[in-house]
Amino acid sequence: MRTTALTPATPKLITENSGSTVTPPSPQDQPPHEVSYPLYPGTVLHVEPSHLWLQRLATSNVSPVADEIRNKLKQEIILDKNTPDFPDKLIDTWKRYGFAVVQDKDFDSFSVQETYKIMRAFFAKEVGYKSQLGSPGSNNNDGYVPPDTEISVSAIGNSVLRSQANVFEFVHRTADGKNRNVDDELGKDFQKLTDALVNTLYTQAKDVAKAMAIGLRNKGFLTPEGKELNDDYFINLMDVKSGEINDLNLMRLTHCKAYELKEDKSFSCTLAHTDLNFATLLPTATKAGLEIWYEDAEHPENTGWVRLDAPKDAYIVNLADQADILTRGFLKSTPHRVISPIGEDRYSIIFFAGFNRNTDLTKAKLLHPLYTGTSRFEEESIPRIKDRKLTALSFTNLRRLDIGVFPKSEDFIPIQDLEYMKKSQ
């Protein structure tokens, strides 16, 4: 079972909430699996851009055996962080599904529930109040982003798909404690709780990074220099030294309004996407809705979206694109989405664990004596970066440019300027 860019046998979107379907373009109308386009003299990219295969997933069915798989996942995907074999089980689970549910006796689930209480009050405020936190820009990732500002990569160039048409609001908070403050009672409570939680999740992320290094070492992976992979390999890449900017470890707070049927709206809080960072931690949300892409190579008819469940005292952790790059595609960044809630609004907390912004992703790739490969995310990104340097920051800003929260820059080639996009318009 491996997440791939293969098109499922029944490419129709069936929304759980409405029962309506949307039929995607026929296979002959879709681009080939390999798209080649010259970006510089002598440079041709032979990889299908991620937003194109994500579009096909976004218009695909819920798995016909989703309930059966959900019960299976409850047995296979829930891991105990406090057991000696956790690193090995984590890698095996990530290799199979891209996601894991982690139970940890030291995890502060009480702070999570208290934060959800404050989030309900905070997001009920008018836009002007929330905007006091500032907004992301070319020099920072921190602030408030109103609904319909950010798009999903899977919606690029597609008039049928609309990303986050329902309310999707978030606040980016850096992990260094330098957060803007709304100076009233609610704002101070909001600041206190989120500051404490972001530090808790950052600590958990480092624990996961250590387990990841141990698990990959046990699989035979080596450092880029061919030496034994040490426990702190990924933690060192996350480290931000005094005087450096720490903005790629971020906590996102989301609010998605309860489902309302409207003809011009999508039925997802978030459409099909992969995360652009290293790894993502998600304390259990106030309502279910997270779905992962499940592909069954032996029984392709079972391929489709499957709801992922997690107990309240656990957190979900998934691989993201930069881990895909560093393991040369051995561990896959798994597509996922969030379905709009019914009955009451959905609140969630997401911690994006990231590397130091200066981390050279190409030079940090691991070696393996029996495994060679290259991540699709590396292949499709480097030709769009003018200086060809794939750092944690350049990869992040390139993806932020595509989803609409980073201004156009001479440093990157916009996706709209790529040859295959021009031909498809």
pLDDT value at position 162?
A: 64
Of the two residues 354 and 21, the one the predictor is more confident about is: 354
Rank 37-46, 119-128, 156-165 by mean pLDDT and report only the highest.
Answer: 119-128
For CA atoms 42, 44, 319, 395, give the dihedral sign. Answer: positive
Structure tokens at 323: 């881990």
pLDDT band of 65, cuts 50, 70, 90: very high
User: Which residues does 42 contact at the CB level (< 8 Å), separation at least 6?
Assistant: none
Of the two residues 193 and 265, the one the predictor is more confident about is: 193
Q: Give me the mean pLDDT over the 399-418 stretch.
A: 82
pLDDT value at 75 more than 70: yes
pLDDT value at position 98?
A: 94
Of the two residues 51 and 219, the one the predictor is more confident about is: 219
pLDDT, one tens digit per residue, over 9-58 is 222 222 333 333 333 333 333 343 344 444 444 445 556 778 888 988 98
Contact 111, 193 (CB under 8 A): yes
Q: Which residues pair with 46 in a beta bridge?
A: 36
Local structure of residue 27 (DSSP, 8 states): G
Q: How far is CA 358 from CA 327, 361, 376, 383, in A?
A: 18, 9, 21, 19
Q: How far is CA 190 from CA 67, 121, 142, 198, in A?
A: 37, 9, 15, 12
Distance CA 137, CA 178 (A): 16
327 sits in the region (left: phi over 0; alpha: psi -120 to 50; else beta) called: alpha
Q: Give me the mean pLDDT over the 54-82 stretch.
A: 91
Rounded to two decimals, the pTM is 0.86
pLDDT value at position 178?
A: 59
Q: Which residues pair with 79 in a beta bridge?
A: 102
Q: Give me the mean pLDDT over the 209-222 stretch.
A: 98
Q: How far is CA 227 from CA 324, 363, 373, in A?
A: 20, 14, 19
Structure tokens at 237: 């890449």
Distance CA 85, CA 169 (A): 38
Of the two residues 3 and 382, the one the predictor is more confident about is: 382
- Virtual torsion, Cα 399, 8, 292, 61, nearest 10 deg: 110
Q: Please tell me the least confidently modeled range out of 16-30, 139-153, 166-180, 283-297.
A: 16-30
Distance CA 376, CA 122 (A): 39
Q: Give me the mean pLDDT over the 283-294 stretch.
A: 94
Q: Give me the mean pLDDT over the 399-414 stretch.
A: 85
> Which CATH superfamily does the domain covering 13-424 fall into?
B-lactam Antibiotic, Isopenicillin N Synthase; Chain (2.60.120.330)
pLDDT value at position 25?
A: 35
pLDDT value at 176 more than 80: no
pLDDT value at 7 more than 70: no
Q: Please tell me the least confidently modeled range out of 4-13, 365-374, 385-394.
A: 4-13
Structure tokens at 378: 């590396």
pLDDT band of 262, cuts 50, 70, 90: low
